[in-house]
Structure 1
Amino acid sequence: MRIGTQSFYTQSMNGIGSQQQQLFRIQQQLAAGTKFLTPADDPVAAARALGVSDALAQSSQYATSRSRATLSLSKEEDALKSATDILQNVKTLVVQAGNGTLSDADRASLATAIQSNLDQLVNVANADDGNGQFLFAGYKSANPPFVAQAGGAIQYMGDQGQRLIQIDVSRQMAATDDGRSVFQSVQGSAGYVSSASAANTGSVVFGAVGVTDATAPLYGKDFSISFAGGNYTVTTHDTPPVVAATGPYTAGTPINFGGVQLSMSGTPADGDSFEVATARNAGTDIFAAMDSVVSALRQPLSGGGPAAQARLQNALSTANVKITNAHDNVLTVRSSVGSRMNEIDALDAAGGSRDLIDKAYLSDLQDLDPAAAISQFLQRQTSLQATQQTFARLHGIALFNYL
């Protein structure tokens, strides 16, 4: 079969053009450092690479969210540590105030110290995260959560919302806690709190409440103890009230009712009354508890007799239990913050390991092997040069060269 000159020329040029295209493609791959330049080069690998890249992008976003959550929780942990230290100091001052040798001036000094701690605690409760967002305000984070009212009471102006952050595929975490749960709540395990009526005129001082039978039918209810004619009567706060116990009062002999017992000393006056309520119903506001003990310490005892001494001791006992409950609650919240920070650390470690695996897989899918690519480039280049030289020589052959 005879091959025409034009056909030979066309086929040779097409072959050279194809080799040039292949060489140019390898050059592009080397410049980009990837196996495929377009998804059409390897549709399966391109699809897989897209999925892995998307997973890495999501992981990066989760890592950023975890960093934000860690920052917020760190700020909260610092605030809770300060609150813990303040409450521990207040507990020490309350115990010190119970010393019977103190004068009115000494107690006034202690009241001033406790008031200073109260002011510090309010400032801690109004701490922000450094970006103008208040830590303990719930969703109302643009405004201070605790505001002093005209009468001096501290009112919570936030809500009980928790700002959640998506820190992993299926995990949302609260980056803050609301102020009511931290400073105006108690743990479910908190026991009874006793308190005396401000109108009492007797000298009865109560002791700690002890649990004798947690399975008693009336256990967990709130009780009132009233005195009349040398007898006591314990009733529940039900409607109508249920009499839990009654009998003659003997100083130092525990009164048993509703699965608990309460020791009392001193002499009651007719009409004196006391409350024994669960911690949740006895008042859980730590600011109010501290304010009440400040007021009690500022009341002079000189000339007040045993009744004034009893009022002070009972007020200190009530405040001590409430402050202890609040202290325990803050410690529990602080423990929760620490647990959340530990979980974030674990998720960071797991996310880092997952990212390494995904990046290695993505590299296998799309990263070019430089040594192999350069070798192929040199082979293509040599082949192209040989083809071009051969074509040039054959194209120059003619009969006129031999005449």
Structure 2
Amino acid sequence: MRVASSTLYQQGLASMNMQQSSLLHIQQQLGTGRKVLNPSDDPVAATRALTTSQASAVNGQYATSRKQANIALGMGENTLSTVTTVTQNIQTLLVQAGDGTLSDVDRASLATALQGQYDQLLGLANADDGNGQYLFGGTMSGSPPFVQGGGGVQYVGNTEQQQFQVDVARQMPAGSNGRAVFQSVQGSAGYVLKGSGNTNTGTANTGNATYGQVSTTDPTNPLYGTALTLSFDDSSGTMQYTIKDASGTAVGGTPLNYSEPAQIAVAGITFTVKGTPQSGDTISMQPASQAGTDMFANLKSVIDALSKPTPAAADSANLSNTIATGIRQFSNSLDNVLTVRASVGSRMQELDALDTIGTNRDLSYSATLSSVQDLDYAAAITEYYQRQTALQGAQQSFMQIQGMNLFKYL
């Protein structure tokens, strides 16, 4: 068969181009360190590499969110730590205020000290992150969540919480709203006693009866958790007391004679009443969630009571009861703040665990990408020399073949 000289040239050129292309490809692999340079090299490997890279990028976003959430939680925890200290200081001052030997001047000094704690507590409630974002405003973090007005402090934030997507199926609240911190108590807080106003005139109790701290003895009692009122009456010629629920129905049977100290046991709670009450005086027994949960209002009530002189025994008794109520309320508030702090701490601990999982996931993604993309340098260098030798052989073969023509013998 006759082979044209042009065919020999074309075949020789094609062979050299093919070997040159193969050599260039392996050079690019060695230069980049990757064995898959184009999807056409290995479509399956290229798809796996793309999927793994995208998953790794998303995992990186989760890590960034966790970092931001950790910063926000850390700021909240630092503030709550100071809130805890202030609340404990308030409790200490309230115990001091309960000393019956204090003069009106001493109590006024304590009222001033408590006012300082009040102002500090309000400042902490309106703390921000340094960038104008308030920590306890919920999702309304652009303005102070607590404002003075209406005779007290009002919460103008909301109860929502900013959420961070910290993992595939985990959204984490990165803060605590102010109502949950400063205006709430835990469900297990029990009862709070209050010396109520006279049911007929609306004035304060006129007797000098005082109550001690209430204790929970039987939370399984059917009446436990019900708001009750203890009322004194001497219309029978003997001072008696009756306990009624919110509807006015007596829950303790017939009126009982009062003699101090009276040990009151009802609805699974107990407390002691001392002193001499007057007819119409009342003591309310309310679950903590119904007895005033606002730290600012509770503290303001005590400050106002301490600022007033106590010329009569009834005034001293009402002050003593107000302080006893305040001590109980701030004990509940401290428990609530500590519970919120525990929640913050558990979330920070969870973030640490998720960081560990995320780091391990990154290592897994890196290993997968390495197995799919990374070049085996020993095999690549060997192939490089093979391609180089093949190219040289193609070039030398072409030089010999192109010399095989009749023009050489003319």
Q: TM-score, normalised by structure 1?
A: 0.95
SS of corresponding position for 1:254: strand
Q: Distance in 2 between matches of 1:357 and 1:321?
A: 54
1:279 maps to: 288
The structure 2 residue matched to 1:377, chosen from 384, 387, 403, is: 384
Q: Distance in 2 between matches of 1:183 and 1:158?
A: 12
Q: Distance in 1 between matches of 2:58 and 2:222?
A: 55
Query: Aligned pair 1:178/2:177, yes or no?
Result: yes
Alignment of 1:2-401 (within 5 A): 2-149=2-149, 151=151, 153-198=152-197, 199-229=204-234, 230-238=239-247, 240-245=248-253, 246-301=255-310, 304-397=311-404
Q: Distance in 1 between matches of 2:219 and 2:400?
A: 109
Structure 1 residue 332: deviation in Å? 0.1
Structure 1 residue 211: deviation in Å? 2.9
Confirm or deny: 8 A CA contact 2:184 2:294 kept in the other structure: yes
Confirm or deny: 8 A CA contact 1:236 1:244 kept in the other structure: no
Q: Distance in 2 between matches of 1:83 and 1:309?
A: 30
Query: Alpha-carbon deviations, 1:202-224, whole Å to 9, x = none?
Result: 11010122334333332211111
CA RMSD of aligned residues (A): 1.7
> Which one is further off, 18-27 or 313-322?
18-27
Q: How many residues matched? A: 399
Q: Distance in 2 between matches of 1:166 and 1:299?
A: 53
SS of corresponding position for 1:208: coil
SS of corresponding position for 1:39: coil
> Which one is further off, 283-292 or 212-221?
212-221
Confirm or deny: 8 A CA contact 1:79 1:124 kept in the other structure: yes
Q: Distance in 2 between matches of 1:244 and 1:156?
A: 39
Query: Alpha-carbon deviations, 1:309-368, whole Å to 9, x = none?
Result: 211111110000000100000000000000000000000001101110111111110122
Confirm or deny: 8 A CA contact 2:227 2:245 kept in the other structure: yes
Structure 1 residues 177 and 323: CA distance shift in structure 2, 3 A: same
Confirm or deny: 8 A CA contact 2:207 2:277 kept in the other structure: yes
Confirm or deny: 8 A CA contact 2:8 2:401 kept in the other structure: no
Point out where structure 2 has 5 or more consecutive residues left out of the alignment. 198-203
Confirm or deny: 8 A CA contact 2:137 2:158 kept in the other structure: yes
Q: Distance in 2 between matches of 1:373 and 1:325?
A: 72
Confirm or deny: 8 A CA contact 2:228 2:284 kept in the other structure: yes
Query: Alpha-carbon deviations, 1:254-273, whole Å to 9, x = none?
Result: 12222322210000111111
SS of corresponding position for 1:292: helix
Confirm or deny: 8 A CA contact 1:252 1:264 kept in the other structure: yes
Determine what percentage of the aligned residue pairs are the same residue. 50
Confirm or deny: 8 A CA contact 2:192 2:329 kept in the other structure: yes
SS of corresponding position for 2:207: coil
Confirm or deny: 8 A CA contact 2:138 2:178 kept in the other structure: yes
Structure 1 residue 371: deviation in Å? 3.3
Q: Distance in 2 between matches of 1:192 and 1:90?
A: 20
> Which one is further off, 211-220 or 68-77?
211-220
Q: Which amino acid aligns with 1:48?
A: R
Q: Distance in 2 between matches of 1:82 and 1:212?
A: 33
Query: Alpha-carbon deviations, 1:279-299, whole Å to 9, x = none?
Result: 001010011111111111111
Confirm or deny: 8 A CA contact 1:244 1:258 kept in the other structure: no
Q: Distance in 1 between matches of 2:282 and 2:22?
A: 100
Q: Which amino acid aligns with 2:399?
A: A
Q: TM-score, normalised by structure 2?
A: 0.93
Q: Distance in 1 between matches of 2:6 and 2:340?
A: 89
Q: Which amino acid aligns with 1:22?
A: S
Structure 1 residue 155: deviation in Å? 0.6
Structure 1 residue 382: deviation in Å? 2.5
Structure 1 residues 231 and 242: CA distance shift in structure 2, 3 A: closer
Q: Distance in 2 between matches of 1:6 and 1:300?
A: 122
Structure 1 residue 252: deviation in Å? 0.7
Q: Distance in 1 between matches of 2:374 and 2:220?
A: 70
Structure 1 residue 398: deviation in Å? 5.3
